[in-house]
A and B are shown apart, each in its own frame.
Chain A
Amino acid sequence: MKKIYAREEHCIGCRLCEIHCSAAHSKYPDDLVKAFKKAEVLPVPRVKVEEDIPLSFALQCRHCEEPHCLTACITGAMYRDEKTGAILNDPERCVGCWTCIVVCPYGAIFRDEGVGKVVAKCDLCLEQGEPACVANCPNAALVLKEKGGE
């Protein structure tokens, strides 16, 4: 399956990926200004920029083949999407126990208490098509591709 890969040599730490990720998961996915000015609660970004200049990179869920989070989820909220293979979280079933957070070796699952006590993780923007972080990275430091592919 295609996943998002970070190219740290191209990342400048601008955090636009975080901003567009939040907006893409808000009530106004197509309008950055509305998302930030009108949404009552802004979802937490599901991508995380880490920075220690000159090094920086952005990381989100690796959609593992043997996901720790899926085996650890106490409610069954974490599941694999049958069509795409993406690992998704059902916010209706998630109770915010944070067990997935203590087992994810990437630190790619985040608490989102604003929208209800649930976790937020990368869903590859499956509903929108291209992931917002990839589409809006000014430097192509995030790419959607098969593992090892271009």
Chain B
Amino acid sequence: MRYCIIGNSAAAVGAIEGIRLLDRENPITVISDEPYHTYSRPLISYFLAGTKEEEGMIYRPKDFYRKNNVEVLLGKKAVSLDTVAGEVVLADGQKIAYDKLLLATGGKPFIPPVKGLSAINEGIFTFIKLDDAKELQQHAGAGKTAVIIGAGLIGLKAAEGLIKLGVDVTVVDLAPHVLSSILDEKAAQLVQRHLVGKGLKFHFGVTADAITENDGKKIVALADGTEITADMVIMAVGVVPNHGLAKDSDIEINRGIVTDNHMETSIKGIYAAGDVAENYDLLAGENRVIPILPNAYQQGNTAGINMTGNEVVYPGGFAKNAIGFFGLAMTTAGLVKDKDAEEYVNAADDSYVKLLVKDHKLVGFIRINAVDRSGILTGLMIDRVDVSGMLESLLSVEPGLIVLPADTRHSRLEGGAVTWR
């Protein structure tokens, strides 16, 4: 049995740890086009801001591959798959034979068609990988100016890092407010007020139509006629599955690589996990890509166990986020909007809590400046607990377990919450 994993981030590490739970012997090969020991992608914003050194970004200790008997091919790009022969072909022509393969190739930046963009050679950045952060850091500094296209998680984390480096930052987004995938308008306004206070400038409800260059400066022309001049432009509109390898094979792809509840693709013996894969969203009730690290690890781990021949099911997941900007912390989970859900809100000057309830079950929440113990709500979502009698407590800034029905509470005290698996 030869295991091969393409990718070296959370899903890949989850798979290695899953395989080695049950199979200490058979060889694992990891192929990564990045030259680095496994590192935490979300930490690139800390790296950019200078609060985390490169050495501090490793996702597992330095002896991780050795301890787990993994052969790791770093800085090697997989360029094609032969799913019949069972081989991965690398850019240098080398072929890696496998019996079980995991595609954990993550996401890549979505670059919208902006007129003039492709003609510009320097000063245009994305912000997903460590190399992106290194390049950006070299160009950033006090007195510089930046335009960020996209006010989502990636765009705003880049903005925070750049502001800390003294860069003057303007953020542009087609949506009417920041973080439109995880916040509603009221929550976003609270966050925006905070960010504007730290020096960020925003243009909402508008796209960037064209980018031109003049004497090294970029001129971003917005659809409403505004022109913004800056030293650098960061494209942070979104992330799409990096499924190029599968695309040229017979593996079924929808938006992401389609996987079943064992994380196996349409081809037997080939698995996919993480931001490249599509799987069941427990709350939306349909398959989709949920590009967040916890799900990537869990999917990878599930794939790894199944690759050993043992059987374990991934029950599906939903989005969960914890994020902060300049000290303003927030947690969110599940659905942001649902026309069939009832909404309950507890808003104050400096905090905001919203619950989405459908058929007496919690299906989503937003908690700004109210993050403490918010996992209790996530647990109720996983367990599908009837929350009708406890809404007041769940809306408070710090919820507790004491409002749970006695049997659920006792099960919590015993450590009996439904596990993620």
Question: A residues engaging B (CB < 8 A)?
Answer: 3, 5-6, 8, 48, 50-52, 55, 57, 59, 62-66, 68, 71-72, 74-76, 93, 95, 97-107, 109-111, 147
Contact call B294/A71, Cβ cutoff below 8 A: yes
Q: Let me know if B2 is at the binding interface, CB within 8 A.
A: no
Size of the B side of the interface (Cβ < 8 Å), in residues, is 52
Interface residues of B in 34-60 (CB under 8 A from A): 40, 42-43, 46, 51-52, 56-60
Given A71-B301, A74-B293; 19 other pairs, CB 8 A cutoff: A8-B413, A52-B403, A66-B420, A66-B421, A68-B378, A71-B14, A71-B420, A72-B293, A75-B40, A76-B40, A76-B61, A95-B43, A97-B324, A98-B329, A101-B374, A102-B371, A104-B376, A105-B382, A106-B375
Binary A-proximity of B329-341 (CB < 8 A = 1, otherwise 0)? 1011100000000
**CA of A65 to CA of B418 in the docked complex: distance in angstroms?**
11
- The answer to whether A50 and B401 touch (CB under 8 A), given A95-B52, A98-B329, A101-B372, is yes
**Complex interface: chain A residues within 8 A of B51 (CB):** 95
Contact between A59 and B60, CB atoms less than 8 A apart: no
B166: interface (CB < 8 Å)? no
Query: Contact at A107–B322, with CB atoms within 8 Å?
Result: no
Task: Tell me which residues across on chain B come within 8 A of A48, comparing CB atoms.
Answer: 373, 400
Query: In the complex, which residues of chain A have a beta carbon less than 8 angstroms from the beta carbon of B14?
Result: 71
- In the bound complex, residues from chain B placing their C-beta under 8 Å from that of A103 are 294, 320, 375, 378
In the bound assembly, the distance between CA atoms of A98 and B324 in angstroms comes to 9
Contacts of A111 in B (CB 8 A): 371-372
Which chain A residues border B378 with CB–CB below 8 Å? Answer: 68, 102-105
Chain B residues with a Cβ under 8 A of chain A: 14, 40, 42-43, 46, 51-52, 56-61, 293-294, 297-298, 301, 320-324, 329, 331-333, 371-376, 378-380, 382-383, 399-403, 412-415, 417-421
Rounded to whole angstroms, the CA-CA distance of A51 and B358 in the bound complex is 29
Min C-beta distance of B57 to chain A, whole Å: 8
- B60–A99 contact, CB under 8 A? no
Distance of A124 Cα from B375 Cα, bound (Å): 21
Query: Which residue from chain A places its CB closest to the CB of B399 in the assembled complex?
Result: A107
- Collect the chain A residues with CB atoms within 8 Å of residue B371's CB: 98, 101-102, 111
Chain B residues in 8 Å Cβ range of A110:
372
* Distance (whole angstroms) from the CB of A20 to the closest CB of chain B: 20
A99 vs B294: C-alpha distance when bound (angstroms): 9
B373 adjacent to A101 (CB under 8 Å): yes
Q: How far is the CA of A97 from the CA of B153 in the complex (A)?
A: 13
Q: Which residues of B contact A95 (CB under 8 A)?
A: 43, 46, 51-52
Output the least CB separation between A100 and chain B (Å).
8
CA distance A76 to B52 in the complex (A): 14
Bound CA–CA A6/B401 (angstroms): 13
Cα of A111 to Cα of B42 in the assembled complex, Å: 19
**Min CB distance, A44 to chain B, in Å?**
10
Which chain B residues border A59 with CB–CB below 8 Å?
401, 412-413
